[in-house]
Amino acid sequence: MSLVTTPVNEKFSDENFRHHLDAFWLNVPWVQELKENSWREYQELRPPVRTDEHWRFTDLRKLKLEGFSPSQEPEEAQKAAVLEQSNVVGSPAGRLVFGDNFLIDFDGVSGELAAKGVIWMPLSQAVVEHPELVQKYFLNEENRLGSEKLLALHNAFFHGGSFLYVPKGVEIEQPLCAYYWSIGCNEAIFPHTLLVVEDNAKVDFVDYYGSYGDDCCSTLSCGVGTIYAGQGAQVFRKIVQNFNEETLSFQLEANIASRDSSVKTIAVNLGSAYARLQNHTRIVGPGADVKMYGLTIAKGEQEFDQRTLQIHEAPHAVSDLLFKNVLLDDSRTIFSGLIKVDKDAQQTDAYQTNRNLLLSKSAEANSLPGLEIEANDVKCSHGATTGQVDENELFYLMARGIPRATAYELLVYGFFEEIVEKISNEDLRENVRLLVRKKFAQ
Amino acid sequence: MSTEAPEINIDRDKGDFSYAEDYAYDAGIGLNPGTIDYISKVKGEDAWVNEFRHKALKIFEDKPMPTHWASEDLNSIKFQDVRYYLSKGQKPSRTWDEVPDDVKQTFERLGIPEQERAFLAGVEAQFDSEAAYSRMKEEMEKLGVIFVGPHEGLHEHPEIFKRFFGKVIPIGDNKFSALNSACFSGGSFIYVPKGVKVAQPLQAYFRINAENFGQFERTLIIADEGAEITYMEGCTAPKFDTATLHSAVVELVALKGAKIQYITVQNWSNNVFNLVTKRGMAEEDAEIRWIDCNIGSRLTMKYPGVVLKGERARGEVLSIALANDGQHQDTGAKMIHAASNTTSNVISKSISIGQGRSTYRGQVHIPKRLSNCKNNTECDALLINANSRTDTYPAITVRGDHNSVQHEASVSKVSAEQIFYMQQRGLKEAQAMSLAVNGFVNDLVREFPMEYSVELKRLIDMEMEGSVG
C-alpha cells in the first residue's frame, strides 16, 4: 500500500495507470489484462458530444473529468467517521464499507449461510479466491447507453467493490449492504457491485453512496452494478445515491433476468451536482418479471440524467418502469427510456412511466420515453406527465381545515410515497423517508 | 384461427403510369451553383431570390446527413443523380382549355376535373415543378385572396410574401429545408386578407413524372388577422425504377385570430423519398391544424410543427401513417410553445403491415417564463403482422409555471376476439380485419373533409387486402 501514498501526477495518466496495476493487481494477470484493454479503450474513445442521442439534453459543460485523480487511502479518523454512518439498515446479513475505494469494514455472512455456499466478500478478494466464478460474470454484460468511455475508465481503475454469490435455492432474509464513501477532494471512486443469484435463490441488497464531508470540493464517482438473476431467482436491489452536491456521479447498471426470475431495482437519487443513472436490463427468459423504480429529488442546480433500456429478448415476460422526479429551484432532470421488444418476444407486457412534479418556475424536466416494437402480439405503453401540485387536491385538503402549506407538503410526500413504500426493509424505508423529507424541507 | 399472414401482396399500381417526357427546360442532372443560376434565369427571378438560393446551397452542402438519429436509408439517396429543375415552359394557365393535352390526361386519371367541378374553390395542380393549371373562382378573387405559385408570389407580391418567406422555416433548419431553399420550384403561395373566411377548401395536386426527378415545392400560406382557410394537398406518383426525391417546405403564418387547416394525403409510390419540412406560426388567438395522412413512399420523414407565438394560440397535429412492406413512415409532430396560455394537441395513429415500419418522433417544448401552457400527446400504434415494426421517440421539455404536459403511447394488435366476433356474424377474415383497422383510425378520419375520408377508407381497404388469409 505504501506505493499509493507516494504522490503521483494527478489525473488519469499512463503513469498513474501503471502505478494502479502494480499497487493492487500485481498477482492477478487476468485482471491486469482486462485493465490493459480497458485503459486502451478509454484513451481511444471520444468523450460524449451533444449530437449523440444518448446525451441529448445533457448539459455537457458540467462533465469535466480533467480535475480528478485516482484516490488515496483515507485517514483513520475519516474511516471511523464514515463507518459510523454506515447504518441505513439495522441488522444486515452482511456488510462491506469502502472509503475512496479502500476497504474499511467487512462483516461476513453467518456461518450458516457460508455453509450453504454463499460467497460474500470484497471483489478484490473474490478475483483471487474464486477466479473461475468471478471471471464467468465479471464485466461480461453489455452496458451501452452512452457512457462507454466512463465504463472503460471504471474498468481500468476500480479496486474496491462487492461480490455476492448465492447458490441455487438459498434464500437470504436480511439484506446485504455495500457502502461506498467518497472522502478525498478531487479524487475518483469506482464502486462496483456484482450480484450473482443462482436459480430459485433469493436476495435483498442495498447500495449506499455517500460523501464524507457535506461541503467538500468536487469528487467523481463512476460506479458499475450488475445483477445476474438465474431461473426463478428473486433479486431486490435498492440504490441510495446521497453524495454531496459537488459530486459528478455515474451509475452504470447492467442486469439480466432469466426465466421466471424477478428482478426489482429502486434507485433513490438525492445527491451530486450531476448524476447519471443508466439501467440496461435484458430479459432473456420467459416469465421473467422486471420492475424498475426511480425517485429523484432535484434541488439547487442539480442535474439528474436517467437513461434506461428494457430489452425483451424472450416471450411472455413483464417489465414495468416508474421513474418519479420532483424538481425544485433551478434543477434539471432528463428521463430517457426505451422499451425494445425483439421479433420473438411475443406476449410481452412492457410499461414505462415518467412522472415529473415541477415545484419551481425555473426547473426543467425533459422526458424522452421511447418504444421500439418488433413483435405484434404485445401490450406496450408509455406515459410521461409533467405538472404541478393539483389545485383541486389542495382545495380538497384545505376544505377539511388543513393549512395550505401542510396540504402542499402532504401531497408532495404522497408523490414520493408511491416509490418509498415499495422498499420492503422497514429500517431502510424509514431512513429513505427521512432522507427524502430532509432534502425536500431544507 | 390465425390473424397472421407472412404473404402480403399489395396492389401498388395505383398511379402507375407515365407519359413521354418532353421538357422544354431541363437543368440537367446534379446540383451545383450553375443549376441554381439556371433555375433563376429561366424563371426570371429577382436578385435577392437568387442570393437566397445560393446561400441555401452552401448550407445544404455543409450540413451532414442526419443519420445519427434518422434512418440509414437516407444514405442511398444519390443527390448527384437527381434532376433539380424541369418545366414545361408554361405560364400557369387560367382555364382548363389552355392546359396541354398530355398533362390533362394525367390529371384525368387522378380525377382532378371532377373534384374541381364538384367542390373546389380553386385548383393549383402541379405537373412536375411548374403549376400547370391555376384558376380560382371569381368570388375568391373578389375577396382579395391571392393564390399563386412561389415565383409570382415573390415577384409580383413581394410586399406580402417576402416578409414571411423563409422565416418560419429558416434555410438552415435542416439539411432538406436547405436543399428545398436552394432549388424550390412550384408550390402555392396564398394570402387571405383580414377577416376573410374562405368557406371551401383550396386544393392542390402534386405529381412527379420524370424519372429521377426531385420535386421541391415551396408553399407559404398567410392568413391575415381573423382570416380562415383550409388547404388540401394530395399526392400520387407514377412508379419508377430508381428512387425519386421529394423535399417540400411548407410555411404557414396565422396572424392574430386567424385559422389555418392544412390537410395532406400523401400516397407517393414505393420508391419515393419524401423528406418534408412543415411548420406553422400561430400569433395571438390563432389556430393551426395539421391533418396529415401518409400512406405511400419508401421513406417519409415529416414532423409538422406549430410555433405558438402569441397568447392563447392553439396548435394541433392529427396524423395517420400506414407502413407496408418496404416502407418506413417516420412521422411525428413538434409543438414549440413560445407564449403563455397556449395549448397544443397531438394525436398520431400508425398502422404497420407486413414488414412495414412506422415511427413517431415528437417534440414538445415549453420554456421558462411561460405559464398555463398545456400539451396533450397520444400515439397509438397497431401492428398487423408478426414482423411489423413500430417505434416511438418523443422528447418533452417543460419549464415554467403551471404548465402541464401529458404524453401517452400504446402498441397493440387487432385482437383475435374482435376478428372472431365479426366472423361469427358472417364477415370474411379480411373484411373483419379491414373493419377493425378502419375502426382504429375512425375518430381521426372523421376530421378529414368528406371526399378525403372516403378515399382514405378505400386506400386502407386496399392496403389491407392480402394482409390476412
What confidence tier does A5 reach under pLDDT thresholds 50, 70, 90?
very low
User: What pLDDT does residue A433 have?
Assistant: 93
Cβ distance of A386 and B404 shorter than 8 Å:
yes
DSSP A385-405: EEE---HHHHHHHHHTT--HH
Smallest Cβ–Cβ distance between A383 and the set B387, B408, B413 belongs to B408
Q: What is the mean pLDDT of residues A82-86?
A: 93
Q: CA–CA separation, B396 vs B408, rounded Å?
A: 12
pLDDT tens figures, B368-395: 889 999 999 999 999 988 889 999 999 9
Residue B440 one-letter amino acid: F
**Percent of chain A scoring above 90 in pLDDT:** 79
From the CA of B280, how many Å to the nearest CA of chain A? 24
Q: Which residues partner with B131 through β-bridges?
A: B126
Is residue B1 over pLDDT 90? no
pLDDT tens figures, B160-195: 999 999 999 999 999 999 999 999 988 889 999 999
At how many degrees (to 10) do helices B450-464 and B429-445 cross?
150
Cβ distance of A373 and B386 shorter than 8 Å:
no
Q: List Cα–Cα distances, A411 to A293, A397, B430, in angstroms.
A: 20, 9, 51
User: What pLDDT does residue A94 have?
Assistant: 95
User: What pLDDT does residue A216 have?
Assistant: 66
Is residue B316 over pLDDT 80? yes
The answer to which of B2-6, B16-20, B117-121, B461-465 has the lowest mean pLDDT is B117-121
B368 interaction partners in chain A (CB closer than 8 Å): 361-362, 364
Cell numbers describing residue B24: 422544354
What confidence tier does B125 reach under pLDDT thresholds 50, 70, 90?
very low
Kindly state the DSSP code that residue B371 receives in the 8-state scheme.
Answer: B
* pLDDT: which is higher, A346 or B117: A346
**Average pLDDT taken over every residue of chain A:** 91
What confidence tier does B211 reach under pLDDT thresholds 50, 70, 90?
very low
3-state secondary structure of A350: strand
Is residue A33 over pLDDT 50? yes
User: What pLDDT does residue B120 have?
Assistant: 31
User: Residue A274: in which H helix or E strand, if any?
Assistant: strand A274-283
Q: What is the mean pLDDT of residues B69-74?
A: 88
From the CA of A307, how many Å to the nearest CA of chain B? 13
User: Which class for A290: exposed (0-12), middle (13-18), buried (19 or more C-beta within 10 A)?
Assistant: buried
pLDDT tens figures, B27-71: 677 888 988 998 898 888 899 999 999 999 999 999 999 988 888
Torsions phi, psi for A243 (to 5 deg): -70, 170
- Is B181 an interface residue toward A (CB < 8 Å)? no
Cβ distance of A361 and B368 shorter than 8 Å:
yes
User: Given the C-alpha cell 418534408, which residue does it identify?
Assistant: B276
**Average pLDDT taken over every residue of chain B:** 81
User: What pLDDT does residue B114 have?
Assistant: 45
The answer to which of A192-196, A369-373, A393-397, B212-216 has the lowest mean pLDDT is B212-216
**ipTM metric:** 0.83
Is residue A46 over pLDDT 70? yes
DSSP B381-398: EEE-STT-EEEEEEEEEE
What confidence tier does B124 reach under pLDDT thresholds 50, 70, 90?
very low
* pLDDT: which is higher, B124 or B385: B385
User: What pLDDT does residue B147 have?
Assistant: 83
User: Residue A204: in which H helix or E strand, if any?
Assistant: strand A202-211
Q: CA–CA separation, B135 vs B96, rounded Å?
A: 8
Is residue A71 over pLDDT 80? yes
A270 and A238 Cβ atoms separated by less than 8 Å: no
B201 and B123 Cβ atoms separated by less than 8 Å: no
pTM metric for this prediction: 0.86
Residues in contact with B180: Cβ distance below 8 Å, sequence separation at least 6, in sequence order:
B56, B216, B218, B247, B248, B249, B277
Cβ distance of A367 and B381 shorter than 8 Å:
no
pLDDT tens figures, B278-313: 999 999 999 999 999 898 889 999 999 999 999 999
Is residue A132 over pLDDT 50? yes
Smallest Cβ–Cβ distance between B392 and the set A343, A356, A370 belongs to A370
User: What pLDDT does residue B323 have?
Assistant: 93
Q: CA–CA separation, A220 vs A246, rounded Å?
A: 9
Smallest Cβ–Cβ distance between A366 and the set B390, B396, B412 belongs to B396
Q: How many CA atoms lie within 13 A of B278 on its CB side?
A: 25
Q: CA–CA separation, B398 vs A365, rounded Å?
A: 5
Q: CA–CA separation, A269 vs A250, rounded Å?
A: 11
* pLDDT: which is higher, A195 or B414: A195
- Is B400 an interface residue toward A (CB < 8 Å)? yes
CA nearest neighbour of B134 among B150, B118, B111, B110: B150
From the CA of B378, how many Å to the nearest CA of chain A? 9
What confidence tier does B244 reach under pLDDT thresholds 50, 70, 90?
confident
Q: CA–CA separation, B76 vs B434, rounded Å?
A: 34
pLDDT tens figures, A207-231: 999 998 766 678 999 999 999 999 9
Q: CA–CA separation, B442 vs B436, rounded Å?
A: 10
Cell numbers describing residue A101: 475505494
Is residue B4 over pLDDT 80? no
